[in-house]
A and B are shown apart, each in its own frame.
Chain A
Amino acid sequence: MTDIYLDNNATTKVDPLAINAMMPFFSEQYGNPSSIHKFADGVAKAIKTARKQVQDLIGAEHDSEIIFTSCGTESDSTAILSALKAQPNRKEIITTAVEHPAILNLCEYLEKDGYTIHRMPVDKVGRLNLEAYKNMLSDQVAIVSVMWANNETGNIFPVEQMAEMAHEAGIMFHTDAVQAVGKIAMNLKQTKIDMLSLSGHKLHAPKGIGVLYLRRGTRYRPLLRGGHQERGRRAGTENTASIVALGKACELAQEHIEYENTQVKALRDRLERGIIEQVPHSFITGDINNRLPNTTDIAFEYIEGEAILMLLNKAGIAASSGSACTSGSLEPSHVMRAMDIPYTAAHGTIRFSFSRFNKMSEVDEVLKVMPQIAATLRKLSPYWDSLTNEPVADPEKAFAPTYA
């Protein structure tokens, strides 16, 4: 049996065409694009092409708005620290409680330095309250940073509308779009988004390459200073091979965006419908009407995520979990906590995330094993009554361990 990879929100397979595109830049095309001689010429041109390909995918107005970085995290840090540095009188940041750690941990760190962080809560399906958001906007706020789509649930936030609102209040707007780029269509020139982060390895380019989109005219302070690369806005010799591969990957993502929203979505829809039908006491988390087409996050009640993953893995299926135990921390994922998913379910959430490389036969394979996996673990669970094959009556009271 071949292995089934359903963890594409963690990372994706590099498209073979992107690999082909990048290979020459490890061998004959090894010049430094900054040099004057002919070794540099082809490399500089290839980077220009890649910049254009990224620009086209995200709908940026100018290719100079594309700054190549090393990853999504670098883009996020650059954006937020730039906004603070460029506006030293503004000491507040607005973000959400469900951001990626690349944003949340940076904010927590800035909090220690005296900045005020507003973390917008979400409701039970992970939606923001825009009325409350509006009231937070003030001239004290340096930047709003809201993810375009959530990595766990796939929930899409109304960033275009929120950027408009921030713009009207004279506040910079950044979005961490690493999960959204390539999966949903976007046209940045028609928005008020000032900065956007994307990451190559989430859209079939290699790891170690990212982009910060910086709208022309947005006040900016570089994170890395040094040489004149990226017009002095991100010093450091270009990762030429990966930039070329990212360009190619963006072109391919553009070509497949409809496929993603029809065929890939069909895989996701069939999987989650099948699971909900066949596995009792399971439910989809997040906003099912407003999600990425490739993501589903399913909570299996009364069992734990890592144990589910281990059994899935044994069956050759790769997915991921918001369970505490897979991350080494004790709390379940902050996203599940923010949505107030009960602990008996939050620990048992499994995220299946698809890509255009998945097939319908793989969905069938998962549907074959998933009901049995849930049943096996429930047999071990103190919250489950093996005789009735139902949860014990009033689970939280029937089993109340000694310490909390």
Chain B
Amino acid sequence: MIFGEGIEQTIIEDLKMWDYSEKVKDHFFNPKNAGAVENANAIGEVGSISCGDALRLTLRVNDDSEIIEEAGFQTFGCGSAIASSSVLTEIIKGMTVDEALTVSNQDIAAELDGLPPEKMHCSVMGREALQAAIANFRGEVWKDDHEEGALICKCFAIDEPMIEEMIWANKLGTVEDVTNFTKAGGGCAACHEDIEGILERVLKERGESFDPSAEATVKVTEEPKKAPLTNLQRIKRIEMVLEALRPQLMADGGDVELVEVEGNTVYVNMTGACSGCQMAAMTIAGIQQRLMEEMGEFLKVVPASQMATAGA
């Protein structure tokens, strides 16, 4: 549906819905394991009604094997909150509680073929409900260390509390610092004004003043977890990410092929239903978003047909 239905459809479709993968839509329109499990012995309730999403996860766990035999969800929330809850119950059924605890919010999002940055918190809610339910099963009290706020950086899905916390914890003083520590602002740069606003406020609370022309004050002391990729490794990884997206495109009669990587520009060939279709630009934006998330760097995806002109 994303790649190439008629224009009538695009006119009335809410833009946000275009960002949803087929899997999200499928789990939303046909949710699995909706409702409460009878005789549940593990219940997790998380969310916040003010934020508009809340989830109750009910599990029946075998007391001896600790295998999750039944899982059910009740969700107040948007399309992706319901889809995240639904897919979570599918993932964890049949797992032991220890196995289930290793399920991350990225796993939930990945199982849905990704979520838009504004919606990643839905997958976080799923994971937290799971932790809360397992704590409940074990007779523990689950403590939430979670705080959520306005989304600042849409390229890397970083919200305000996260940025604020990093500024306090690491005595950050510039936008560049914030980007180094959180990745926020490292993409399209549209959020730099907002980041400066947060810096101004926090620095004032700290009794300092924000100097926009200051050099980055804090050097990143931690070594990056992985050694920098060689060119070849980087291209191979880009190819892997594209490979993972192909089934979804092919389901809509299209395909994508990597042609060249120059600096942070990734040239691709869109073929089949995707080439020339009015949704090609939207598709490319989706691919770019996914690549940036996976690679953790700013990348621009451009149709290979523009290679000569783009180089000029």
The answer to whether A382 touches B75, judged by C-beta atoms less than 8 angstroms apart, is yes
The answer to whether A304 touches B29, judged by C-beta atoms less than 8 angstroms apart, is no
What CA separation (Å) do A343 and B197 show in the bound complex?
29
* Distance in Å: Cβ of B71 to nearest Cβ of chain A: 14
Please report the total number of B residues contacting A with Cβ < 8 Å: 50
The answer to whether A329 touches B76, judged by C-beta atoms less than 8 angstroms apart, is no
Say yes or no for B48: interface residue by CB 8 A criterion.
Answer: yes
What CA separation (Å) do A54 and B12 show in the bound complex?
29
Say yes or no for A326: interface residue by CB 8 A criterion.
Answer: yes
The answer to whether B14 touches A326, judged by C-beta atoms less than 8 angstroms apart, is yes
Choice from A344, A347, A379, A382 contacting B55 with Cβ under 8 Å: A382
The answer to whether A313 touches B51, judged by C-beta atoms less than 8 angstroms apart, is no
Choice from A112, A329, A402 contacting B132 with Cβ under 8 Å: A402
Say yes or no for A318: interface residue by CB 8 A criterion.
Answer: yes
* Distance in Å: Cβ of A289 to nearest Cβ of chain B: 29
Say yes or no for B264: interface residue by CB 8 A criterion.
Answer: no
Minimum CB distance partner of B35 in chain A: A386
Say yes or no for B127: interface residue by CB 8 A criterion.
Answer: no
The answer to whether A382 touches B74, judged by C-beta atoms less than 8 angstroms apart, is yes
What CA separation (Å) do A332 and B53 show in the bound complex?
11
Say yes or no for B276: interface residue by CB 8 A criterion.
Answer: no
What CA separation (Å) do A92 and B146 show in the bound complex?
39
Say yes or no for A36: interface residue by CB 8 A criterion.
Answer: no
Minimum CB distance partner of B49 in chain A: A343
Choice from B74, B128, B151 contacting A380 with Cβ under 8 Å: B74
Minimum CB distance partner of B118 in chain A: A328
The answer to whether A401 touches B46, judged by C-beta atoms less than 8 angstroms apart, is yes
The answer to whether B77 touches A400, judged by C-beta atoms less than 8 angstroms apart, is no
Question: Which chain B residues lie closer than 8 Å to A173 at the CB level?
Answer: none
The answer to whether B74 touches A324, judged by C-beta atoms less than 8 angstroms apart, is no
The answer to whether B54 touches A401, judged by C-beta atoms less than 8 angstroms apart, is yes
The answer to whether B76 touches A383, judged by C-beta atoms less than 8 angstroms apart, is yes
Mark contacts of A366-404 with chain B using CB atoms, 8 A cut-off: 1 yes-contact digit, 0 otherwise: 000000000000011111001000000000100111111
| CB interface residues, B 1-30, toward A, < 8 Å | 8-9, 11-14, 16-17, 25, 28-29
Say yes or no for A331: interface residue by CB 8 A criterion.
Answer: yes
Say yes or no for B148: interface residue by CB 8 A criterion.
Answer: yes
The answer to whether A314 touches B77, judged by C-beta atoms less than 8 angstroms apart, is no
Q: How many A-B residue pairs have CB under 8 A?
A: 134
The answer to whether A306 touches B51, judged by C-beta atoms less than 8 angstroms apart, is no
The answer to whether B78 touches A402, judged by C-beta atoms less than 8 angstroms apart, is no
Q: A307-B79, A401-B48 are in contact. Are A326 and B35 (CB under 8 A)?
A: no
The answer to whether B28 touches A325, judged by C-beta atoms less than 8 angstroms apart, is no
Question: Which chain A residues lie closer than 8 Å to B50 at the CB level?
Answer: 330-331, 343, 404
What CA separation (Å) do A380 and B55 show in the bound complex?
10
What CA separation (Å) do A379 and B30 show in the bound complex?
13
* Distance in Å: Cβ of A369 to nearest Cβ of chain B: 14
| CB interface residues, A 1-30, toward B, < 8 Å | 3, 5, 7
Mark contacts of B26-54 with chain A using CB atoms, 8 A cut-off: 1 yes-contact digit, 0 otherwise: 00110100110000000011111111111
Mark contacts of A249-275 with chain B using CB atoms, 8 A cut-off: 1 yes-contact digit, 0 otherwise: 000000000000000000000000000
Q: Mind listing 16 A-B residue pairs with CB under 8 Å? A: A304-B78, A306-B14, A306-B79, A307-B82, A309-B17, A310-B28, A316-B12, A323-B52, A323-B78, A325-B81, A328-B118, A328-B151, A329-B150, A330-B149, A382-B54, A403-B48
Pairs A-B, 4 closest by C-beta atoms: A325-B78, A318-B12, A306-B78, A328-B118
Given contacts A325-B80, A328-B16, 11 further A-B contacts (CB under 8 A): A3-B8, A5-B11, A305-B78, A306-B16, A307-B78, A318-B14, A320-B14, A347-B49, A347-B52, A379-B34, A380-B31
Interface residues, chain B, CB within 8 Å of chain A? 8-9, 11-14, 16-17, 25, 28-29, 31, 34-35, 44-56, 73-82, 118-119, 121, 128, 132, 142, 144, 146, 148-151, 197
Interface residues, chain A, CB within 8 Å of chain B? 3, 5, 7, 112, 302-307, 309-311, 313-314, 316, 318, 320, 323-326, 328-332, 343-344, 347, 379-383, 386, 396, 399-404
